Each structure stands twice: as structure tokens, then as C-alpha cells.
């Protein structure tokens, strides 16, 4: 038995996923708010029977290995190793794909590069401009430079390229690591970073996955980052989490905008500071942080760009159950880096005094617009409504309705009603998407949705009840071709096996049908021994509806045929069709 099979035999997908997110049992299956996209209504489903997950909102689906890949932001070999450790399974080299060897090579190249640039900065005349910048302008101690392995890339020449060649690294490997580039003018290779202070980007385990280079001259862009590589994905990376993780676990995280903000804070003993490193906060970054804490303080620069970034970050973080507070760099200081260097105690106090995110939204919006004018009040409410209308807790909503009303000199009930009734567009779409596509895509034909829902319920019945229900309808009673085909396959399976096991049936059907089975099995009402009668009544109601719909379609067709026969004065055909019409009408008990 291979490693994957052993892992799946020893672990249960429910246990694996519930170690990351909170699952709620619904019948045989489990549901949760999806960790992969923003939503208010749970559309993430887990089936212990099929050992799969499926989100009907964003479409993500798979097994326990693909879940770990997605939520950890890692590749298959790393996900396999995490699960193998949980299951106590020993992995052989053959269990990994060919990318694993290349990854190790890229880590090696990055480590060489980081150490080389660090050496130049500290011990070579070529690194003097970078050292002066960091020690004199940024006031960094040598111990801090060593701790973050900061370096310097000279402004001319291919010094790194030549160094790596001497270490046996090919230009192709350098390109894959992202440390050199191909020049557009002559096609030659050159160092990617020139005239820049180098910040090695280290994963949580301390491995160097990439680099960020800040110009100390007038080069554009101001910051230059490693492009996406096999081992570096910008949206999955959090700067300095490798150094801050213990402090973050103890004190919560302070999330800032830039690498220098982080380094200055750490030098001044504020060690729980981390950065999204030049990108808007992503779900993957928050999931990584959630391994260590659910408490985040967003530290923002005092400009509209920082405030707008906070809106999105808070929205994402709250969906992942974080406790979010916000602090803003006081006037007179450009950013946290400048504040920490000038007044470290004030910086620490600012972080301690962070306010809840919703209080920040009110404060920020009333600073952006004039709250004393009708137009200003209108704009403030337009800012706040999409944020506050997400609040589910009525006590919290009542509290903030009062705060907003006080600030804008409005009636509290008016504000409360506005925030209660207005729903953001994203929530509307999420509620729609949370239903499987196979149940909603034929909006103009509700009978087709009924047939799919009926099939969803049949798939959850135990063998004895399923066999009985399969005789309730004929293959031709269905109008939906997919439902008709699945009904036929299900009947054939039960007749041949004289039993029903959803896992075996899942393997029995072809892949296109398997995808349909997966979606249907995870949707709709769940079979529960405690409510068997209710479930069976629903099945019978749907079967009757499908049968009635079929009869109505047949009667409509017969009516058209009778009209045509009357035009043709075909009395014999009229008589035959009328008999058929009367027989079908009896089935409707007309």
C-alpha cells in the first residue's frame, strides 16, 4: 500500500479539517464558513463517507491532502509530510514528485545568495553604501543586521552571478530561483538586484524563499521583490513570522505595512510585529498567522491608502474569526519605523491603545468626510453601511448604531434600521452560490431542480429504503438528462450489487457522473436516524411532484396532438388520444 493510501486509511478528513476550522455536524456531513473565500452563510461541506470536501460558494473541492495544500499554501510533498507525521506513516523518496529535489536546490541557492549579500554588506568595500544607509540613516545595530541577515547588492556588475557559478550553480537554476534576470537589450544574464539593500524573505522554518530589495538611490521601483517561484508565493508569505512566532503566540500579532517597520520594532523589543511584505493582506497570509494567534492589531500609516487597506483586511480577518484592532501612526510620523526610532515608548503605547476595528471605521470615515454637512453625513453612511451591515450580533449592532448616530447627530433607530436592512452585494451572491450549481442553473425549469434534489436525497438513503424508492418512478419520468442518467445508473448498481455503499458507488461511476454525485451527496437535507420519517416524507413528496410534472407534460403534449388532429378532421386519432388523455388525467385525480 502506498503512502497516500496509508495516510487516508489512518486519518479521517473530518479530524484533519477540524484542526484548522470549526465544523458543525449537519446530518451525516459537516458544514463550515469556507476558509478559502469571504462568506457569511456556510457553504463549505465535508463528507466523512466520501472523505472529500466541497465549497459550493467558491468551488474548491478535494481530499484531505489537497485541503492541507490549499490552507497551508504549500505543495503536495509538504502537505503529504504534514499528514504522514500525523498518521505515523514513514515516507519514502519515491512518494515525492520531482519538484521536491528542485525545491531543495532553490533553497540552497537562496541561502548562498543571502549569505553572500550579507558578507558584502558587513565585510566588503562594495557593501559600504548599504551599511551606511542601514546604520546611519535607519539606525540599525549590527546585531539587528545579523539577526535579519540583511545584505547589499552592488549597483553594477554581475558579482552574484559569478559567485554562484563558482559554487556550481547553473544560470538556469539561478533564473528559477529568481536571483538573476535576462537583459532585454542583449539577452545576457545579470543580477536581478542592483544598488539595493537586501531583505532575505524567510519562511516560518527559517528557510530563505526569496528576497526584497530596497533602492538606496533613485532606482525604480523603490522595492523590488522576487517573482513567483517554485518556493515563493507572495500571497502566502508573512515577513518575520519565523522570528516573531513565539511572541505572536503569547501576545497576538501586530501586522504592519513594511519590512523596515518590522525590523525597527524588533530592535526596540516589540517582537510580535510582522508584515504582509508589500501586498494587500490575503486569506492565505491570515491562515498562516492563525496557526499562532487569533488576535491581530493592524498598524497603519495615517493616509487614505492605509485606511482603505484596513477595510479589506478587517473584512477578511473577521471571516476567519480573528479579533481585530487597529492603531494609526500619530501625526508627525511617516510610519511605524520612524515612530519607533524616535519614540519607542510611544510606539509601544500606540499598539497597546489599539481600538476595535469598527470604532476605527467610524473614526476614519468621520475624518475623511465633513460630518457636519448633509452631504458629508450621506458619504459617511455610504462608507459604513457595507461594513456594519455584516454584523450579525444585534447587541453589537445596537451599540454601534448609537455611536454612529451620536457622531452624525442622527436618530439611532434610523441608523439601526439602515444597518440592519442594507446587505452588501457580496452577501447576496454568496447566499445564491451556496447552493450547488446543479440545483440552481435551470432557473426557468423548476422541475429540473426538483429532480436533482430528489437524486440528492436518494443518494443518502440506506439500501433497504433506497431499493423501495427506486421503484416509485420510471426512467422516463425525468426531464433532466443528467438526473435521468444518474437514476438509471443508480438503479443498475443497486440491482447488480444487492446493496448500497456511497463510497463504492462513487468509485463505480464514471468521472463526470462522480462529480455530480459528489455535489449532490453534499447538498440538501441530510439523512438522520432521528428524523427518518421526515426525510422519507420529503423523498415521497419529491417523487410525487416529479411524477405529477411528468403527467402534466404528457397531458400538454396530448392536448397539442388532439388540436392538430381536430384541424385535420382525424376522428380516429382524436378518439385514441382522448382515451390516453383521460387515463393520464386519472393519475392526477382530476
Q: The domain spanning residue 46 has which CATH number?
A: 3.90.580.10
408 within domain boundaries: yes
Asked if 541 and 518 count as a contact pair (C-beta separation under 8 A), the reply is: no
Cell numbers for 329: 501612526
- 556 and 419 inside one domain: no
- 172 and 286 inside one domain: no
Taking residue 551's Cβ as centre, other Cβ atoms within 10 Å add up to: 17
- 204 and 148 inside one domain: yes
- 31 and 132 inside one domain: no
Host H or E run for residue 326:
strand 323-328
Taking residue 363's Cβ as centre, other Cβ atoms within 10 Å add up to: 15
- 392 and 482 inside one domain: no
Choosing from 55, 75, 95, the residue where a domain stops is: 95
Please tell me the predicted confidence (pLDDT) of residue 118: 98
Please tell me the predicted confidence (pLDDT) of residue 432: 26
- 69 and 107 inside one domain: no
Please tell me the predicted confidence (pLDDT) of residue 41: 82
- 115 and 82 inside one domain: no
- 313 and 244 inside one domain: yes
Strands 180-182 and 189-191: antiparallel
pTM strictly above 0.85: no
Please tell me the predicted confidence (pLDDT) of residue 184: 66
> Residues 6 or more apart from 384 whose CB is under 8 A from it?
361, 362, 365, 404, 419
Calpha distance 117→343 (Å, rounded): 31
- 283 and 178 inside one domain: no
Question: Is 379 buried (19+), middle (13-18) or exposed (0-12) by CB count in 10 A?
Answer: middle
Calpha distance 254→252 (Å, rounded): 7
320 within domain boundaries: yes
3-state secondary structure of 124: coil
Measured on CA atoms in the order 97, 99, 103, 105, is the torsion positive or negative? Answer: positive
Range of the domain at 413: 369-430
Calpha distance 531→284 (Å, rounded): 39
- 244 and 219 inside one domain: no
Calpha distance 3→88 (Å, rounded): 10
- 442 and 568 inside one domain: yes
Report the interhelical angle of 374-388 vs 304-319 (nearest 10°): 30
| Alpha-carbon distances, residue 313 vs 36, 336, 349, 422 (angstroms) | 14, 18, 23, 21
Choosing from 179, 198, 231, the residue where a domain stops is: 231
Calpha distance 461→87 (Å, rounded): 32
Residue pLDDT tens, the chain, 590 long:
578 889 999 999 999 999 989 999 987 889 999 888 777 788 899 999 889 998 888 778 889 998 998 888 787 888 899 999 999 998 876 555 556 778 889 999 999 999 999 999 999 999 999 999 999 999 999 999 999 999 999 987 799 999 999 999 999 999 999 999 988 667 789 999 999 999 999 999 899 999 999 999 888 889 999 998 989 988 889 999 999 998 999 999 999 988 999 999 999 999 999 998 766 788 888 988 988 899 999 997 766 566 667 777 887 887 778 999 999 888 888 889 999 999 999 999 999 999 998 998 898 889 888 999 988 998 899 888 888 887 777 888 899 999 999 999 999 998 998 888 644 323 322 222 334 444 444 434 555 678 888 998 999 888 888 988 888 888 778 888 888 888 888 988 888 788 888 888 887 877 667 878 888 888 766 666 547 888 888 889 999 888 888 888 888 889 988 998 898 888 889 998 899 888 888 877 65
Whether residue 519 has a cis bond before it, omega within 30° of 0: no
3-state secondary structure of 80: helix
385 within domain boundaries: yes
CATH number of 196's domain: 3.90.980.10
b/e code 214-229 from CB counts within 10 Å (16+ = b): bbbeeeeeeebbbeeb
Cell numbers for 373: 454637512
pLDDT tens sequence across 305-339: 666 677 778 878 877 789 999 998 888 888 899 99
Please tell me the predicted confidence (pLDDT) of residue 220: 83
Please tell me the predicted confidence (pLDDT) of residue 94: 56
CATH number of 272's domain: 3.40.1360.10
Total structural domains within the chain? 5
- Radius of gyration of the chain, Cα coordinates, nearest whole angstrom: 31
CATH number of 501's domain: 1.10.860
560 within domain boundaries: yes
Calpha distance 8→63 (Å, rounded): 9
Which of these, 517, 538, 514, lies nearest to 526 by C-alpha position?
Answer: 538
Please tell me the predicted confidence (pLDDT) of residue 404: 94
143 within domain boundaries: yes
Asked if 289 and 320 count as a contact pair (C-beta separation under 8 A), the reply is: no
- 174 and 307 inside one domain: no
Calpha distance 534→541 (Å, rounded): 10
Question: Is 590 buried (19+), middle (13-18) or exposed (0-12) by CB count in 10 A?
Answer: exposed
Please tell me the predicted confidence (pLDDT) of residue 494: 87
Which of these, 315, 227, 327, lies nearest to 278 by C-alpha position?
Answer: 227
589 within domain boundaries: no
590 within domain boundaries: no
Amino acid at each position: 500500500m502506498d503512502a497516500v493510501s496509508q495516510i487516508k486509511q489512518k486519518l479521517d478528513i473530518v479530524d484533519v479539517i477540524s484542526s484548522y476550522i470549526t465544523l458543525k455536524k449537519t446530518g451525516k456531513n459537516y458544514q463550515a464558513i469556507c476558509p478559502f473565500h469571504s462568506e457569511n452563510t456556510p457553504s463549505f461541506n465535508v463528507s466523512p463517507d466520501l472523505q472529500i470536501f466541497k465549497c459550493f460558494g467558491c468551488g474548491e473541492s478535494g481530499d484531505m491532502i489537497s485541503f492541507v495544500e490549499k490552507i497551508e499554501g504549500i505543495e503536495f510533498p509538504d502537505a503529504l509530510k504534514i499528514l504522514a507525521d500525523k498518521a505515523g506513516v514513514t515516507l519514502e523518496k519515491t512518494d515525492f514528485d520531482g519538484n521536491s529535489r528542485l525545491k531543495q536546490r532553490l533553497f540552497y541557492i537562496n541561502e548562498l545568495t543571502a549569505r553572500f549579500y550579507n558578507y558584502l554588506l558587513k565585510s566588503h568595500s562594495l557593501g559600504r553604501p548599504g551599511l551606511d544607509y542601514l546604520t546611519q540613516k535607519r539606525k540599525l545595530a549590527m546585531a539587528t543586521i545579523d539577526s535579519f541577515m540583511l545584505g547589499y547588492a552592488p549597483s553594477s556588475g554581475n558579482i552574484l552571478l559569478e559567485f554562484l557559478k563558482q559554487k556550481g550553480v547553473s544560470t538556469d537554476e539561478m533564473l528559477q530561483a529568481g536571483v538573476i534576470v535576462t537583459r532585454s537589450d542583449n539577452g545576457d544574464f545579470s543580477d536581478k538586484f542592483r544598488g539595493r539593500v537586501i531583505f532575505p524573505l524567510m519562511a516560518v522554518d527559517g528557510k530563505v524563499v526569496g528576497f526584497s530589495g530596497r533602492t538606496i538611490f533613485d532606482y525604480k521601483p523603490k522595492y523590488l521583490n522576487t517573482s513567483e517561484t517554485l518556493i515563493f508565493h507572495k500571497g502566502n508569505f508573512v515577513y518575520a513570522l519565523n522570528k516573531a512566532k513565539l511572541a505572536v503566540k503569547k501576545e497576538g500579532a501586530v501586522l504592519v505595512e513594511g519590512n523596515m517597520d518590522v525590523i525597527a520594532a524588533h530592535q526596540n523589543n516589540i517582537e510580535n510585529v510582522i508584515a504582509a511584505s508589500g501586498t494587500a493582506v490575503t486569506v492565505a497570509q491570515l491562515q498562516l498567522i492563525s496557526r499562532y494567534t487569533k488576535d491581530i492589531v493592524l498598524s497603519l500609516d495615517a493616509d487614505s491608502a492605509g485606511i482603505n487597506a484596513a477595510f479589506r483586511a478587517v473584512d477578511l480577518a473577521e471571516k476567519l474569526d480573528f479579533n481585530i484592532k487597529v492603531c494609526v501612526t500619530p501625526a508627525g510620523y511617516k510610519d511605524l519605523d520612524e515612530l519607533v526610532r524616535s519614540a519607542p515608548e510611544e510606539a509601544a503605547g500606540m499598539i497597546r491603545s489599539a481600538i476595535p476595528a469598527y470604532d476605527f471605521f467610524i473614526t476614519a470615515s468621520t475624518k475623511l468626510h465633513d460630518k457636519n454637512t448633509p452631504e458629508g453625513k450621506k458619504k459617511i453612511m455610504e462608507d459604513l453601511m457595507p461594513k456594519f451591515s455584516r454584523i450579525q450580533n444585534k447587541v453589537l449592532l445596537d451599540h454601534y448604531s448609537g455611536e454612529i448616530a451620536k457622531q452624525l447627530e442622527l436618530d439611532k433607530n434610523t441608523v439601526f434600521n439602515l444597518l440592519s436592512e442594507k446587505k452588501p452585494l457580496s452577501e447576496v451572491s454568496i447566499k445564491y452560490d451556496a447552493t450547488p450549481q446543479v440545483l440552481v442553473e435551470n432557473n426557468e425549469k423548476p422541475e429540473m431542480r426538483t429532480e436533482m434534489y430528489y437524486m440528492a436525497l436518494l443518494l443518502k438513503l440506506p439500501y433497504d429504503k433506497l431499493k423501495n424508492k427506486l421503484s416509485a418512478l420510471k426512467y422516463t419520468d425525468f426531464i433532466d438528462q443528467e438526473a435521468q442518467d444518474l437514476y438509471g445508473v443508480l438503479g443498475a448498481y443497486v440491482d447488480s450489487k444487492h446493496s448500497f455503499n456511497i463510497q463504492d458507488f462513487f468509485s463505480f461511476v464514471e468521472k463526470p457522473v462522480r462529480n455530480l454525485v459528489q455535489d449532490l451527496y453534499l447538498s440538501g437535507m441530510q439523512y438522520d436516524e432521528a428524523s427518518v420519517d421526515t426525510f422519507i416524507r420529503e423523498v415521497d413528496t419529491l417523487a410525487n411532484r416529479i411524477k405529477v410534472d411528468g403527467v402534466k407534460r404528457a397531458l400538454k403534449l396530448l392536448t397539442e396532438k388532439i388540436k392538430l388532429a381536430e384541424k385535420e378532421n382525424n376522428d380516429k386519432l382524436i378518439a385514441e388520444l382522448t382515451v390516453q388523455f383521460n387515463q393520464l388525467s386519472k393519475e392526477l385525480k382530476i
